[in-house]
Amino acid sequence: MAVDLSVSWLGVNMENPLYNASGVMCRSREELDAVAASAAGALITKSCTLLPREGNPEPRYAKAPHGSINSMGLPNAGYQYYLDYAKAYDHQGGKPLFVSVSGMSLEDNLEMLAAFRDADLPCLVELNLSCPNLPGKPQIGYDFEASSHVLSEVVKVYHKPFGVKLPPYFDPVHFAEMASVLNSFPSLKYVTCINSVGNGLVIDLDSESVVIKPKGGLGGIGGDYVLPTALANVREFYRLLDDKHVIGCGGVKSGREAFMHILAGATAVQVGTCLYEEGAACFARIRDELAALMQQKGYATLADFRGKLKTM
């Protein structure tokens, strides 16, 4: 049986549902080009700030027994670098390009979004409401009133469809509250669930030490650790959002986890820790494993099982 992995949504066509999580293989043109040349179905830039940032001191990423911990601090080349990349990108012959924006203030976000608006490029913008690794900066996504205010100001400036990247939520009340905020904005067309689980701690038993330098060792947790939380967020926002897509992110290292995200309702799936550890070759492997699993289960398209998770 032939399997079709393609995804068409918000005017973009992806050969398969996989692409990089913002923050991994996306800081430089060379990294973005490597993702574009891989088996990924799309690519997204590093979350950009108004001005270039070096980020937090090294070491700021470490592999952990069941995933990873990082406190990167938004190292990026500044929004103009990614705007220039988007202007030069082959939007007709290349894969869909997403641009992640994560200003240090609302004013910064509005300035960057206005620049992308004026450039009138066919890339989709993702506003990051969820960076957990900036000392002294709270995650906007955990303040529902502040999130509503930010989005109210954003839609005054940016009139094209856009998405947001969300932190993980853990309580049904919070799922419902954030969904209510997001449903108030018709031009907000997708959400990415989830960013890393913030402020975890990994300890090396041999050295009796933390494994990253920033914030006394606290950092965002990714990989196997976060898969159940990511799936819960995908499923709940898939249920609660009106006419919006959900992008799954968290714990994807094989076709099995990609299948789970789609079963929970994800339109597409991002890969983070696995991409960092394995490199861009992981996309072909995960794609092929997903196709084989679909064949085994008798599914010809992603729509055949998307959002059809059974409950007891």
Catalytic positions, please? 131
| Element (DSSP H or E) covering residue 7 | strand 7-9
Give Cα 5 distance to the centre of its chain. Answer: 20
**194 marked ligand binding residue:** yes
Q: How many CB atoms lie within 10 A of CB 113?
A: 24
> Are 231 and 264 a contacting pair, CB within 8 Å?
yes
Give CA–CA dist 39/194, Å, rounded: 22
Q: Tally the residues of the chain.
A: 312
**83 marked ligand binding residue:** no
**72 marked ligand binding residue:** yes
Give Cα 173 distance to the centre of its chain. Answer: 23
SS3 category, 220: strand
**251 marked ligand binding residue:** yes
**272 marked ligand binding residue:** yes
**223 marked ligand binding residue:** yes
**20 marked ligand binding residue:** no
| Element (DSSP H or E) covering residue 297 | helix 282-297
**6 marked ligand binding residue:** no
How is residue 24 written in tokens?
A: 């991994």
**71 marked ligand binding residue:** yes
**38 marked ligand binding residue:** no
**165 marked ligand binding residue:** yes
**25 marked ligand binding residue:** no
Q: For 202, which DSSP code? A: -
SS3 category, 158: coil
> Are 164 and 124 a contacting pair, CB within 8 Å?
no
> Are 267 and 193 a contacting pair, CB within 8 Å?
no
**308 marked ligand binding residue:** no
**47 marked ligand binding residue:** yes
> Are 32 and 45 a contacting pair, CB within 8 Å?
yes
Give Cα 107 distance to the centre of its chain. Answer: 23
| Element (DSSP H or E) covering residue 51 | none
- Binding residues for substrate, as ranges, are 46, 70-74, 128, 195-196
- Annotated binding residues: 22, 46-47, 70-74, 128, 165, 194-196, 223, 250-251, 272-273
The annotation places the binding site for FMN at 22, 46-47, 128, 165, 194, 223, 250-251, 272-273
